[in-house]
Structure 1
Amino acid sequence: MNSQVKQTPPLPNASMQSIPRWFSLPGDAVMPFDPWLLATAVALVLTGFVMITSASMDVAAQKFGGAFFFSQRHGIFILLSIIGAVITYKIPLSLWKRSGPYLLLAGFLLLVVVLIPGIGREVNGSRRWISAGPLNLQASEIAKFCMVIYLGGYLVRRLAEVRTSWKGVVKPGLPLAFFVSLLLLEPDYGAAVVLMGCVMGMIFLSGMKFGQFILILVSAVGFVGLMGVIQPYRMARLKSFQDPWADPFGAGYQLSQAQIAFGRGDWFGEGLGNSVQKLFYLPEAHTDFVYSVLAEELGFIGAIAVVILYAILITRIFLIGRQAEKQRQFFMGYVAYGFGFILAGQALINIG
């Protein structure tokens, strides 16, 4: 009888810079990426491009003299994002991990700079954008990215402290408080809520005690609720959200027009390009309310299909994070969780 014991190969070292080849094909072939993640991401990008084109043609023709003005601009943004994705992929994860504190400082400075008159661009009462030639940089989006990278590195360095004491849990609260305060000054209430949820989710999944999580969750919900009612304009928006038809030509105009779009879409929609609400009835049809135009043109089936695509995308991100944790690639795992929370929060808010 053979007495040799088969040795189990060691787990990958946490300092490895390449992403493990987790996703197998039939046979011996493997891929260094998740096909479901890539497929849903591409599907959402293409759906967004088609719907931006459809929703913006009339407003572009009236304001800019060309029906495809926003479509072409959006196409350029997609190309830039692909270039950015390739560059990001080429940067070693060890460098991202070391750069966390510097990125946190950069995100903080951006949130300060955007509040300076003459630098920050004000739109509809909010100062959230920094003009950079033909581009408008939204400071809060960069700040979210910086916070996720920083917190991923922090959780790796202080994992034992986070799992055993309040000290490790409370420390990330200080930079978060600065970020949230600056976001509320813009004001960008939605971004503040998403960022708070992201940080809490990352810390919870890193292994903090459940009792600590419940206490922090109750406190955060109370703070968010207080911020929602302390400002009259936020309270008015909450009331109009509950019943937009109480003032369909005033505070509830946007939401009532959005509901009309959904109602017109029925099950299978009016057909691509056949929306009536985008013809200057629905404000910001090609930005904030593009999902309403999608529901009108593609119907309930199309609207649910987009939700399912987001659900698959976010689920795969969390599964990748979990797989990274199992292979002791903790920085990879926590960063994946962070971006999963951000995508989920943004999708929920914008679709809602």
Structure 2
Amino acid sequence: MSKDKIDYLMIILIVLLLGIGLSMLFSASYYHSEKIGKGPLHIFNKQLLFVALGAVAMIFAARVPLAAIRKTIPLIVLGTMVFSLLPFAPGIGKEINGARRWVVILDYTFQPSELIKLAVVLYVASILEKKADRIDDPLNALLPPFIIVFIFSVIIFFQNDLSTSFFILFIALAIFYIAQIRLVYFAYLGSLIIPLGLGLLLTGDYWRNKLMTFLDPTRDPFGMGFQVRHAKIALEQGGFFGKGVGMSTQKLGFLPEPDSDFIFAITGEEIGFIGIFFIIVLFALFTFRGYVLSWKSKDKFKYYLGFGITTTIIVQAVMNMAVTIGLMPTTGMPLPFFSLGGSAMLVTLFMCGLLINISRSRETQGGVFNG
């Protein structure tokens, strides 16, 4: 591998998204920091720590041979599974808003489901490449990885995180699809997953109320409908050019979670339609470039891995934006590079490092943007 193969366009896109994301996080979080009596930079500084750790993780992931990382995948899967059970442990797990998704270590909270996203992509990419010659044998190639992914999905579900539970199933199925697993097997899996999902939505009070409030926000205007209503107000007030960075009013106690779930709304309020359009273009270029780099690799593991990473990042971004503009029920899905959350930032930057690694080790030269 030589340095001239590094995809500098991908690095530029990552730096731009991260830079804009940190700027918006600072603006969206300083009022919240002051409100909890910690000073205006408290939340931002905590996130900066994870950005620094994530940068180290990204450099590590970009430079370590993928073959070495692949050898550790069984340990990563096992360790992640153990870690994902810790939120249920008394004294270690932390419950927030009725969901027990967090682990507290040295006054820092970590969300194991973020690590699960990475573990699932690594594991599914590795196992499908290993069994590429038996891809038409569902019991051999499809069932083992699906069982592991399903176990992760069940663990996340019992943490009261239905959206992430189904999200990792979707990512796994997306990788199955590009591995050219026969469509009839997707029909079999769908016949199991879809009724289960509908049953959970219709029988669970919490998720049923979420769905009903999404369909009619006035049903619960001061509860579940409150966030989406004020997110739309923020976007409307931003208009075409925005109020200016730091000038949002919705972050001043009106819009809950302005620095995490609804940071896209604050972004739209401050930099307007023109600003969020530029951000969407950056995400689109990131996605396109990620898929191009993956497709260029003749190694199926790298292809599946790059595709899975790119899909994981962009689908989260699309879901977060869709919730903000009222096209989806609230999911709690972060906006990559923007939302507050150390675990998500660490995993996202590590994944970006793997994409850069794939660009360094691709067998073919050139590309869509660099000829």
Of 303, 312, 336, 2:276 maps to 303
In structure 2, how many angstroms separate the alpha carbons of the residues matched to 1:145 and 1:66?
A: 34
In structure 2, how many angstroms separate the alpha carbons of the residues matched to 1:344 and 1:171?
A: 27
* Mapping 1:1-352, distance limit 5 Å: 18=1, 31-165=4-138, 167-217=140-190, 219-324=192-297, 327=298, 329-352=299-322
Aligned residue type for 1:346: Q
Deviates more, 1:280-289 or 1:57-66: 57-66
TM-score with structure 1 setting the length? 0.86
- Cα deviation, residue 73, structure 1: 1.8
- Cα deviation, residue 65, structure 1: 3.9
In structure 2, how many angstroms separate the alpha carbons of the residues matched to 1:217 and 1:301?
A: 39
Aligned residue type for 1:224: G
User: Is the CA contact (8 Å cut-off) linking 1:57 and 1:68 kept in structure 2?
Assistant: yes
Offset from partner CA, 1:136-189 (integer Å, 9 cap, x none): 221011112112212222112111212454542222111112111110000111
In structure 2, how many angstroms separate the alpha carbons of the residues matched to 1:114 and 1:212?
A: 34
Q: Name the SS for the 1:172 alignment partner.
A: helix
- Cα deviation, residue 259, structure 1: 0.9
- Cα deviation, residue 243, structure 1: 2.4
Larger Rg: 1
User: What fraction of aligned residue pairs are identical, expressed as a percent?
Assistant: 25
- Cα deviation, residue 219, structure 1: 4.2
- Cα deviation, residue 273, structure 1: 0.9
> Alpha carbon RMSD of aligned pairs, Å?
1.8
Residue equivalent to 2:337: none
In structure 1, how many angstroms separate the alpha carbons of the residues matched to 2:211 and 2:153?
A: 20
In structure 2, how many angstroms separate the alpha carbons of the residues matched to 1:174 and 1:88?
A: 27
In structure 2, how many angstroms separate the alpha carbons of the residues matched to 1:73 and 1:141?
A: 18
Offset from partner CA, 1:235-276 (integer Å, 9 cap, x none): 111121222234322331111111111111111111111111
- Cα deviation, residue 55, structure 1: 0.9
Deviates more, 1:148-157 or 1:273-282: 148-157
Aligned residue type for 1:347: A
In structure 1, how many angstroms separate the alpha carbons of the residues matched to 2:68 and 2:254?
A: 49
In structure 2, how many angstroms separate the alpha carbons of the residues matched to 1:341 and 1:221?
A: 21
Structure 1 residues 214, 284: closer, same or farther in 2, change over 3 A?
same
Aligned residue type for 2:225: G
Structure 1 residues 335, 284: closer, same or farther in 2, change over 3 A?
same
Aligned residue type for 1:350: N
In structure 1, how many angstroms separate the alpha carbons of the residues matched to 2:278 and 2:136?
A: 39
Consecutive unaligned residues of structure 2, counting only runs of 5 or more, are 323-371
TM-score with structure 2 setting the length? 0.82
Q: Name the SS for the 2:242 alignment partner.
A: coil
Structure 1 residues 217, 311: closer, same or farther in 2, change over 3 A?
farther
User: Is the CA contact (8 Å cut-off) linking 2:92 and 2:105 kept in structure 1?
Assistant: no
Structure 1 residues 229, 345: closer, same or farther in 2, change over 3 A?
farther
- Greater RCO (Cα-Cα under 8 Å, separation 6 or more): 2
In structure 1, how many angstroms separate the alpha carbons of the residues matched to 2:196 and 2:257?
A: 30
Structure 1 residues 65, 96: closer, same or farther in 2, change over 3 A?
closer
Aligned residue type for 1:304: F
Consecutive unaligned residues of structure 1, counting only runs of 5 or more, are 1-17, 22-29
Q: Name the SS for the 1:121 alignment partner.
A: strand
Deviates more, 1:302-311 or 1:120-129: 302-311
